[in-house]
Structure 1
Amino acid sequence: MTHQIRAEEDLLTARHAVREATVRGGFGLVDQTRIVTAASELARNAYVHGGGGSLALEHVQQEGRQGLKLYVTDQGPGIADLEAAFVDGYTTGAGLGHGLGGARRLMDEFHVHTTPGEGTTVIALRWNTRR
């Protein structure tokens, strides 16, 4: 399911949807919190820096493992210096500069596809260690 992120209240709706997906996926409380936190950071980045976007969720299975994959996309300006964006403290806005790097640390797999002037897509996956 895809959730549009166009307004501040959409961030809360997306956060609730991710929480619900982690519960349905049988994730423990710690992993639920990790995934929801990462999704919240990524959705906020899409809203603040990308002018809005979308969050899609996918339950995945691979080699007997189950996980939850997040796709966060925007059509904003893209990330001019992706390497710098992962450094704690680096920010192009008013935040603390922990969002992208922090989200990456919370997930098992993390990929960023960005094109300056065209937008950014982040694909993040967390495997369920309880199953």
Structure 2
Amino acid sequence: MTESILVNIKNEFDIVLARQKGREVSKKLQFGGVDQARITTAISELARNIYLYAGSGQITIEILHENGRKGIKIIAADNGTGINDIRMVLQDGYSTSGGLGAGLPGVKRLMDTFDIDSTVGVGTKIIITKWVR
């Protein structure tokens, strides 16, 4: 059985809540301080993207136990407009919101795995994982 926490993202307070839940789970799994910061930063970025671009969605945080390892899986899902050009949004410096453009490329660098599936008019699902070292 997988232990998971679901945070619905509808406003900026939900972004903070998702970050807090991610930090709690990463502490529970005994991630080091730097990896805890990486995880909470990634969750914050994904939750903010849901809020800014889709309006609402969910962040699901799961505890992983595989082959004697433990880790965290974060699923960010929305039913927004989808991403037209995934390759473009994964380029450093690309921003549609006028931000720094660290967004998804930054999330990809912070985590051990990064998978994105997006369909225009349907929505986006991003799955990231980090393993305890």
1:28-107 alignment, distance < 5 Å: 28-107=32-111
Aligned residues: 129
Quick one: distance in 2 between partners of 1:50 and 1:95?
Answer: 17
Quick one: distance in 1 between partners of 2:73 and 2:6?
Answer: 12
Quick one: distance in 2 between partners of 1:15 and 1:99?
Answer: 15
SS in 2 for 1:10: helix
1:46-70 residue CA offsets vs partner (Å, 9 max, x unmatched)? 1101111110011111111110000
1:47-95 residue CA offsets vs partner (Å, 9 max, x unmatched)? 1011111100111111111100000111111110000101011112221
Quick one: distance in 1 between partners of 2:23 and 2:51?
Answer: 19
Alignment-derived partner of residue 116 in structure 1: 120
- TM-score, normalised relative to structure 1: 0.96
Alignment-derived partner of residue 27 in structure 1: 31
- Poorly superposed stretches of 4+, deviation over 4 Å: none
Give the root-mean-square deviation of aligned CA atoms.
0.7
Unaligned runs of 5+ in 1: none
Quick one: distance in 2 between partners of 1:62 and 1:8?
Answer: 33
Report % sequence identity.
43
Please tell me the residue identity of whatever aligns with 1:19.
R
1:3 to 3, 7, 12: 7
Please tell me the residue identity of whatever aligns with 2:118.
T
Please tell me the residue identity of whatever aligns with 2:105.
G
- TM-score, normalised relative to structure 2: 0.94
